[in-house]
Structure 1
Amino acid sequence: MSRIAPLNSFGRSDIATAGGKAANLGELIRAGFPVPDGFVITTAAYEEYLGTHDLRSELACARSGEQARSLFDRPIPEDLADAVRVAYHDLGGGPVAVRSSATAEDLEDASFAGQQDTFLNIEGPEALLDAVRRCWASLWTDRAIAYRSRAGVRDASLAVVVQRLVDADAAGVMFTANPANGRRRETAIDASFGLGEAVVGGEVTPDEMVVAEALVRSRTTADKAVRTVRTASGTATEPIPHGQRRAPVLTDAQAVALAELGRSIEHHFGAPQDIEWTLTDNGFQIVQARPVTALPDEIGPVPTEWPLERSDGMYIRASIVEQLPDPLSPLFADLIRPSVAASLRTVLQRYFKVGVLEPDDMDFPTVNGFAYYFYSNAGMWRLMKASPTAMPVVFTSGSDLNGVTMWRNVGLPAYREVVDRWRDVDPATLTSARLLEGASELVSAGAEYYTFVQALIPQSATAEIAFTKLYEAIVRHPGRPPALTFLLGGESEPIRAERSIYSIAQWCRRYPDVASALAAEHAIPASRRPHFEALLQEHLDRFGHLTYNLDIMQPVAADDPSAIMVALRYAVSGQATDPDERLARLRADRESATAWLWDHVGRVRRASLESMLARAQELGPLREDALADVGLGWPGVRRMLRELGRRFTEAGFIDAPDDVFWLTADEARGASEALDMGRGVGPSARAAVTGRRVQWRGRRQVATPPGWLPAGGLFHRMFRRFMPSNESPQDGDTLKGLGASGGTARGPARLLRGPEDFSTMRPGDVLVAPITTPAYTPFFAMASAVVTDVGGPLSHSSIVAREYGIPAVLGTGSATARIHTGDELTVDGDRGVVLLPTGG
């Protein structure tokens, strides 16, 4: 192996000889890109140096990076030093840049950025030899050793690149895919005056530009206080003259030209590149190019317009939409739209006379992917005129159309019948078309079931509100218990789910080997595993349908119990409160308050309060039970659709089974029919799936979609106060919402946008989420407070937060947009405000 060779003699396959940096630069020179000329002192020279001084054994014994680096003060063997001097002379002498080029550097799966040293403005052969030794030594800094250890790299060697120094007027870094949003068609450029060290080293705030489609799409011109310049002994930072500090480093034309150069380099390497560049009167020069190794998933454009299909009605985000905080997956949007529209017509015709509604008076469309109820203006007027005679039926006790009666006797049994019919069907035995039909039938059954829940919720809410208002009005004794005291301590399905997890935890704690395995997230010991799995399966069979988000693309615990495991580990840790003890305490407080109440009101007032209180205590838990069962059919839906996705994957239609959720219903139907007929599924949907994911991520960046479109008109003025989120713009350090559970708490924010975040929840965190559904209940036991984008005084979040005695501020409209995980928050549930970090 040659010890020294021209830079252009290396290519991308020569990493073992030249290191990642030199291999990539040599590849660029061969391809005709503008790269300063130079030579490479190869890894053979480094290994020769180590061998001459027997440094391998000493490096292995070094107890610190500093001790290891001190070993490189020994002279370079004379014949090798002479070869370096000759190569430097042949390059033309003068100032050079000396760059480390490690074999574990600038790779496709690990950049090792900044782990080894670069020295600029090195002049003279002896200064060059000293810089070479310092480059070799930089392989042994503490940070480089730790980085290699984390990356699993055991052996690394180092080459050194020596290039003519570009005395740059400007320099910077360019990413040919935007690292902020993952967009592959956007180039992000940082630029500052002088040499590039100030930008790479973070010593200066650079200008920032984003270029796409040959245009500068955004530009931030920074106040650039310093720049890196050449000095007699190397480089130094100097202040930039005041008049130049805010001047743009690059014109738009230069930025576009640089981006085009970067795009050509990306095309050559076949992957997005992280590129260091310089600019002189002779144009741009590339001094480093390496693959971008940590790009986020690509995020599409964030919507700014909200186009509507129809102009003769209103689009509203409420009711079931509160459990759909994100843009919908394409398949779910197609399946749920006709199901909700049909079920709405059914329920309204149940309470209103025939003819009040026309077929197109209601719909369940999406706007920018977000679900909305649509009601025509004409239909709303007809419903309002009929309401005085129709709506009392919902509240009439003993009526067959009473909301609770209908839910208990009709809605829930009918839904369970459909779920049970599909539960024991093996998806593998069904045709592809039948799989899609079964999933559609279960989604429709869930949508129809929700109409029965909609009839129960007003009764429950009205009972709580009526008792609270009457109690506040007629019980004026000083020091009276809060009305809420009388309403807590009831059992509901989410509380029963928590009790089930706690019961499994108690079993685990009886066996230290099980408890320690859970704490370390290791496998349960084989001897205990069958019983543990039986307990877990029993829990999932009963509660695995609780949804975090009603979109069927989101996993439920039945097919992904990872969130349950987070709650279980917390319960096993001993930090969790026994739910039975908490309920007992709440019931004792309630009984004590009730005894006080009957001692302080007369017989007439007691009769009124007693009936209202009994009604509120009965209906409160029923509301939670009803909501918890909305997802009864979802495990079956996901089981069938994932089987369908598996078949589509085998046929080459999509890349992975879960990609099925990103197909439209027509695409899934067409591919299913083709498979059943033994034909090919046609052109792959991979590109469409990728594009829809990108679009969905951009839409998900919307802080909170408008609750009412278009925002105006008589109906908007009449009903906007009932909307479940604050739509007023909020800035500053205070976020306002609804104080749904009293008290004040302070703690670090934990943003939970979905199941992918649940494993990060820690005891004492402030739970911040778009909404919370019954499946979130185990995390309330860990939280110090709760903050949501959407939610009202009688939502799941408020009810459960009050049961747990933690503050809750709901319906802020923008919590998930303005709060970041780790922000220190103060949540004041009495005033309904969240204090953000300064500048939050």
Structure 2
Amino acid sequence: MPHVAPLAAFGREDLPLAGGKGANLGELVRMGMPVPGGFVVTTEAYASLRATSADRQGYENAAIPGELRDAILAAYADLGRGAVAVRSSATAEDLPGAAFAGQQDTYLNVRGDVGLLDAVRRCWASLWTDRAVAYRARLGIDPAEVRIAVVVQRMVDADVAGVMFTAHPVTGDRESIVVEASSGLGEAVVSGLVTPDHYVLDARGTVREFAAGRREVVVRAAAGGGVVHETPADAASVDRLPGAVLAELARLGTAVAAHFGRPQDIEWAVAAGRVHLLQARPMTAVPPPPLRGRVNPLRRRLAAVLLELLPTRPYPIDMTTWIPYGPAGLMAKVTESIGLRGAFEGFLREEDGVVYRFVPPEPRPTPRLLLAPFVIARRARRYDPARWRDDPRYATFRAQVRDLAARDVSRMPWQELVRIPREALALVDPVAGLRIDYLPGAGVAIARLFFALRLTRRGRMLGDLLLDGRTRTEQATRELEQIAAEVRSDPVLAARLVAEEPAAVLPALRQLPAFAAFLDEHGHRESSSPLLVTAPTWGEAPETVVGLLTVLATAPPARAARPPLSAFSARMRRWIERARVGTAFREDTHYEFTRPLPILRRALLEIGRRLVAEGVLERPDDVFHLRLDELEAGPDRRLRDLARTRAARRDELAGVRMIDPRAVFPARDSGDALVAGEPASGGRVTGPVCIIRGPEEFGRLHAGDVLVCPYTNPSWTPLFQRAAAVVVDSGGLGSHAAIVAREYGIPAIMGTAVGTTVLQDGQVVTVDGDTGHVGEAS
């Protein structure tokens, strides 16, 4: 393997030898891009060193072997021995999810043999700076696996320089190019020393937006080497970049992004009117592209439902297990059975093996949809939702779940263990069949009641009439209320529940027979999302249940009075009863088909533990970064790299939304209100805001608080006994939060998109559930 070679000798496949910067620059040279000439001191050269110690000082003091020294100086002579830029190029940098921007060192305007060798040594040593070591540790990169190359290029004494993003780094628009520029060397822009000129261009270089910078300082090459910082005499007099330069930057940036297949962060310089590309790396943390065109009401409604069920970014294991087979996959089968495809499919897009974008589903009708009214009517007549538990498919499902749950995955041989996930997923099929057959009857009954109430001008009563306490979710809440009453009767335990962390009081609660029985019966329920296998269940995270008990133990049950049925005719009472049965069917089948979820999780985590024992993974839950088919292929060292790369990419996207919520929940005319959304449960109350972002924060809610949250699911139901009102970023009239808020008679506003970001903990607000407005308390 060479120790020194020209840039043109490398391409993007040569990352292990040339490092990220060197490999990308070599690829640009091969493309014919205007890259200053140069060479790479490869990672093999770094590996040949004998540092005095394995730290920064040890490499700075390392003696460069004579043969390597001669090769570096010979390559320098081929460049003409003029001024050069010396840049670090580590093997872990400029990668998707791990840009390492600024973590290693760069030295500009280096002159002479001695200066060059010293700069190369300092680049090697920069692999061991405190900031670089900490950055690698955060990404879980083993220091022993990282090497560093050094790129040496002819110095471009720039008149103007800067950076170019081939996608808008804030909006994610792939049809915009953002250029930032300032006088002198690009170091001033890259290091944040100046406020640069800011251009937003289209692909042809036409300026869409421009904001003038201030050019607080100009970095220039010094006569004797190195750089100097100058204060410009009149920064405002500097002209904007010529149109020809902008057009050339746009052309080059578009070509580079297309070649690498992803948005690029490019450093560039202009000298004597000519554009040079100095560096290219994948853009990190770039938002998904904005949606193009109009999102119709059906797509918007489906997106609202799905977003409420996706509080966190799915993992690769979610994408290959519970998402296609669980609730979304089940509903895809239901809608396809009546001739509608795509309603619950294809809404998540992956890049580098990680979900990066949510796209509202696009339902596609098939010819079968023309027969849907007849199919629905036939099923509604044949399958009575009141008798779905008598269906043999339900009994078979429960028996198969019990049998599979009883098997001890910890004792299984590998080949048997890796089959368990598919066996658990297959258990959902009977429930899909039940929903296909019985949902039409439920839907017809609810629709009939809805139209009957509308005709008699009582449409707002629908939500109150549908709930009668018979669903499994409502029954679970009542069981929790009974446990809370038992806790309230024990002053010591009640005080501990409020004063201590859930994990600390959990052992005492487990001594209550009712609490243990509750977890046995309802432990399969999801804690945060029914769409994700990576979210723990109540049984695995009983602290969630403790948080709910904390709410209930300090807030006795209180529900809104339901309309008396005696006010309705006998026929209307029958229709109400049928609609209630239909509502219970929808809720209870969801409750039932999550029973395989803990089985699937146990198998996956056991696979993770086995892979840790084999040295393939570092932690059992790293298995979530892998796909099911990859696990089924067997233990392989390549799984470690896949998991690590995807974990880095996921970490990079931690602060990036999968979709701009305004694309699903459009801005509403709010007047003077702080936040506006869809009115979902009437009433007007004033109280302090309490932002609850997930189940781990349930215990923070106090009686009378305005619950503000990004989403809800059935696990949140007991919170509504304590909240004065609820304001949710996602969801609509038919979402869980809206239904339960109406049951408890508290105001609810859905689909605000920004409630959790605009409102603040403790802020006193007035929630108007009739108008959908949240305003400052008067």
Name the SS of the counterpart of 1:226 in structure 2.
coil
State how far apart, in whole Å, the 2-side matches of 1:494 and 1:636 are: 11
> Partner amino acid for 1:93?
R
Match of 2:415 in 1: none
State how far apart, in whole Å, the 2-side matches of 1:98 and 1:518 are: 55
**Does the alignment pair 1:728 with 2:716?**
no
State how far apart, in whole Å, the 1-side matches of 2:106 and 2:16 are: 20
Corresponding residue to 1:97 among 72, 82, 85: 85
State how far apart, in whole Å, the 1-side matches of 2:234 and 2:58 are: 43
Q: 1:442-457, aligned counterparts within 5 Å?
A: 442-451=438-447, 454=450
Going from structure 1 to structure 2, the CA distance change for 1:125 and 1:560 (only over 3 Å counts) comes to: closer
Match of 1:497 in 2: 476
**Does the alignment pair 1:744 with 2:715?**
no
Match of 2:53 in 1: 55
Match of 1:134 in 2: 122
Match of 2:663 in 1: 702
Match of 1:631 in 2: 587
Match of 2:10 in 1: 10
Name the SS of the counterpart of 2:275 in structure 1.
strand
State how far apart, in whole Å, the 2-side matches of 1:434 and 1:570 are: 30
Q: 1:492-571, aligned counterparts within 5 Å?
A: 494=473, 496-498=475-477, 500=479, 536=519, 538-539=521-522, 555=530, 562=536, 564=538, 568-571=542-545
How far did residue 743 of structure 1 move?
Answer: 4.3
Match of 1:265 in 2: 256
Name the SS of the counterpart of 2:104 in structure 1.
coil
Unaligned runs of 5+ in 2: 310-326, 341-359, 364-379, 401-422, 462-467, 488-492, 494-499, 568-575, 597-625, 630-656
Name the SS of the counterpart of 1:139 in structure 2.
helix
Q: 1:382-421, aligned counterparts within 5 Å?
A: 414-418=384-388, 420-421=390-391
How far did residue 36 of structure 1 move?
Answer: 0.7
Corresponding residue to 2:280 among 272, 289, 292: 289
State how far apart, in whole Å, the 2-side matches of 1:460 and 1:493 are: 31
State how far apart, in whole Å, the 2-side matches of 1:697 and 1:249 are: 35
> Partner amino acid for 2:753?
T
How far did residue 323 of structure 1 move?
Answer: 6.3
Deviations 1:466-511 (A, max 9, x none): xxxxxxxxxxxxxxxxxxxxxxx9998655434556899999x9xx
How far did residue 458 of structure 1 move?
Answer: 8.5
Unaligned runs of 5+ in 1: 60-68, 309-314, 342-367, 372-409, 466-488, 510-515, 549-553, 592-608, 613-619, 641-654, 659-695, 706-725, 751-757
Corresponding residue to 1:74 among 38, 61, 85: 61
Name the SS of the counterpart of 1:816 in structure 2.
coil
> Partner amino acid for 2:106?
T
Going from structure 1 to structure 2, the CA distance change for 1:567 and 1:273 (only over 3 Å counts) comes to: same
Corresponding residue to 2:394 among 423, 426, 432: 423
State how far apart, in whole Å, the 1-side matches of 2:548 and 2:88 are: 50
**Does the alignment pair 1:278 with 2:266?**
no
State how far apart, in whole Å, the 1-side matches of 2:331 and 2:233 are: 57
How far did residue 100 of structure 1 move?
Answer: 0.8
State how far apart, in whole Å, the 1-side matches of 2:25 and 2:80 are: 19
How far did residue 287 of structure 1 move?
Answer: 1.4
**Does the alignment pair 1:787 with 2:748?**
no
Going from structure 1 to structure 2, the CA distance change for 1:622 and 1:490 (only over 3 Å counts) comes to: farther
How far did residue 579 of structure 1 move?
Answer: 2.8
State how far apart, in whole Å, the 1-side matches of 2:2 and 2:732 are: 73
**Does the alignment pair 1:820 with 2:761?**
no
Contact 2:333/2:432 (8 A) holds in 1? no
State how far apart, in whole Å, the 2-side matches of 1:370 and 1:780 are: 34
State how far apart, in whole Å, the 1-side matches of 2:155 and 2:536 are: 54
Computed over aligned residues only, the root mean square deviation of the Cα atoms, in angstroms, reads 6.4
- Scaled by the length of structure 1, the TM-score of the pair is 0.55
**Does the alignment pair 1:199 with 2:197?**
no
How far did residue 193 of structure 1 move?
Answer: 1.8
Contact 1:302/1:701 (8 A) holds in 2? no
Name the SS of the counterpart of 2:23 in structure 1.
helix
Kindly tell me the number of residue pairs found equivalent between the two proteins.
601
Q: 1:431-470, aligned counterparts within 5 Å?
A: 439-451=435-447, 454=450
> Partner amino acid for 1:777?
T
Q: 1:597-616, aligned counterparts within 5 Å?
A: none
State how far apart, in whole Å, the 2-side matches of 1:224 and 1:566 are: 56
Deviations 1:117-171 (A, max 9, x none): 1122333444434433332332122221112123322222222212112223333
Match of 1:43 in 2: 43
Going from structure 1 to structure 2, the CA distance change for 1:565 and 1:18 (only over 3 Å counts) comes to: same
**Does the alignment pair 1:229 with 2:206?**
no
Name the SS of the counterpart of 2:12 in structure 1.
coil
State how far apart, in whole Å, the 2-side matches of 1:11 and 1:728 are: 53
Q: 1:160-239, aligned counterparts within 5 Å?
A: 160-176=150-166, 179-180=169-170, 186=175, 188-194=177-183, 195-206=185-196, 214=204, 218-226=208-216, 228-232=218-222, 233-236=226-229, 238=231
> Partner amino acid for 2:663?
V
Contact 1:21/1:290 (8 A) holds in 2? yes
Name the SS of the counterpart of 2:137 in structure 1.
helix
How far did residue 288 of structure 1 move?
Answer: 1.5
State how far apart, in whole Å, the 2-side matches of 1:657 and 1:447 are: 35
Contact 1:460/1:623 (8 A) holds in 2? no
Contact 1:95/1:123 (8 A) holds in 2? yes
Q: 1:794-809, aligned counterparts within 5 Å?
A: 797=737
- Scaled by the length of structure 2, the TM-score of the pair is 0.58
Match of 1:582 in 2: 555
Match of 1:402 in 2: none
Contact 1:791/1:811 (8 A) holds in 2? no
Contact 1:98/1:122 (8 A) holds in 2? yes
> Partner amino acid for 2:278?
V
State how far apart, in whole Å, the 2-side matches of 1:784 and 1:281 are: 68
Going from structure 1 to structure 2, the CA distance change for 1:657 and 1:177 (only over 3 Å counts) comes to: farther
Deviations 1:185-210 (A, max 9, x none): 53543321233223323344545556
Going from structure 1 to structure 2, the CA distance change for 1:735 and 1:216 (only over 3 Å counts) comes to: same
Identity of counterpart residues, as a percentage? 35
State how far apart, in whole Å, the 1-side matches of 2:720 and 2:542 are: 13
State how far apart, in whole Å, the 1-side matches of 2:674 and 2:80 are: 60
State how far apart, in whole Å, the 2-side matches of 1:537 and 1:459 are: 45
How far did residue 37 of structure 1 move?
Answer: 0.9
Contact 2:686/2:766 (8 A) holds in 1? yes
Higher CA-based Rg:
1
Deviations 1:214-259 (A, max 9, x none): 47595353534435420524143645845357x65464x6445434
Contact 1:749/1:821 (8 A) holds in 2? no
State how far apart, in whole Å, the 2-side matches of 1:291 and 1:795 are: 39
> Partner amino acid for 2:33?
F
Deviations 1:36-75 (A, max 9, x none): 1122333344445543xx223xx3xxxxxxxxx4445537
How far did residue 8 of structure 1 move?
Answer: 2.8
Name the SS of the counterpart of 1:583 in structure 2.
coil
Name the SS of the counterpart of 1:261 in structure 2.
helix
Name the SS of the counterpart of 2:542 in structure 1.
helix
> Partner amino acid for 1:154?
P
Q: 1:766-777, aligned counterparts within 5 Å?
A: 768=708, 774=714, 776-777=716-717
Going from structure 1 to structure 2, the CA distance change for 1:207 and 1:303 (only over 3 Å counts) comes to: farther
Going from structure 1 to structure 2, the CA distance change for 1:206 and 1:568 (only over 3 Å counts) comes to: farther
Contact 1:171/1:278 (8 A) holds in 2? yes
